Amino acid sequence: MQVATIQLAAENDPDANRDRAVSRIRAAADAGANLVVLPELWPVGYFAFDAYADAAEPVPGPTTEQLGAVADEHSITLHGGSILERDGEDLYNTSVLFGPGGELLATYRKMHLFGYDSEEATRLTAGSEVCAVETDRGTVGLTTCYDLRFPSLYRSLVDAGVELILVTSAWPRERLDHWHLFTRTRAVENQVFLVAANLTGSIRGVDLAGESVVVDPWGIGRTNAGTGPRTGHAQIDIGEVQETRESFPALADRRL
């Protein structure tokens, strides 16, 4: 399976951001990607807190319809990153996953909202449900950015049978070392593939790290998209997860 991480620079123009994202998805699919992953809150930019309310929409809604159509058009599994979801009076940071027929396979409302130097925790509502879903790409778990700092969430995904974890993110450049530490650690301690797509560029004066990665069950990076609006590509085999767990049975040795 070929995986593509699409690294976008979110700008103050949601329509242009959508057009750019769709173009990049199509290019990744044309290059052979079977699974494509987008960053966190790419339609508006994570740090554009004052734009959250206006950008929020229902799920399903206009953005998910557009993303589903692209997945169907190219017969790819598409993690559409996260968007701002409006459900009644509540706003959520919601990730969306589509199957190769364009069907919405799963949604995940970010559980751990960022409070440090951020307004996310005051403007949005936290999700409460772990997301693990059976797909034709294996059993997939969804998490978002700040979730990476909370290992219990990832262990619960493994207990649910997850072999591949997709992370959508808007990780700042000033904490880039933590990005690489956590993406590798979450992969190796849970013996899973981890695919993490991050925003790049600058929004509201905050520089985003980029460096989207694919990490294998041994904690070895398969690709790094570097900085700038680039797409990372990596070939992975989900069968390596079971091989790793059998050859080095750390998960079987747990004592609860």
- Residue 256 has a pLDDT of 81
Catalytic residue among 85, 110, 131, 163, which?
Answer: 110
- Residue 21 has a pLDDT of 97
**Whether pTM exceeds 0.95:** yes
- Residue 13 has a pLDDT of 85
DSSP state of 253: G
Closest residue by Cα to residue 82 from 116, 135, 124: 124
**Domains (range + CATH), the chain:** 2-242 (3.60.110.10)
Low-confidence stretches of the chain (pLDDT beneath 50): none
Catalytic residue among 40, 85, 163, 211, which?
Answer: 40
pLDDT tens profile 204-235: 889 999 999 999 999 999 999 999 999 999 99
- Residue 116 has a pLDDT of 84
3 state SS of 97? strand
Q: Which two structure tokens, joined as six digits, stand for 58?
A: 């229902």
Please confirm, yes or no, whether 110 is among the known catalytic residues. yes
Alpha-carbon distance 11 to 44, whole Å? Answer: 7
**Mean per-residue pLDDT over the chain, rounded:** 96
Catalytic residue among 85, 120, 131, 145, which?
Answer: 145
Please confirm, yes or no, whether 65 is among the known catalytic residues. no
3 state SS of 133? strand
Cα-based distances in Å from 167 to 16, 88, 131, 143, 256: 23, 26, 12, 5, 26
Please confirm, yes or no, whether 40 is among the known catalytic residues. yes
Q: Which two structure tokens, joined as six digits, stand for 11?
A: 């700008």
The owner of tokens 């690489």 is 180
Alpha-carbon distance 113 to 186, whole Å? Answer: 18
**Residue type, position 91, single letter:** L
Q: Is the link from the previous residue into 60 a cis peptide, with omega within 30 of 0?
A: yes
Alpha-carbon distance 81 to 94, whole Å? Answer: 8
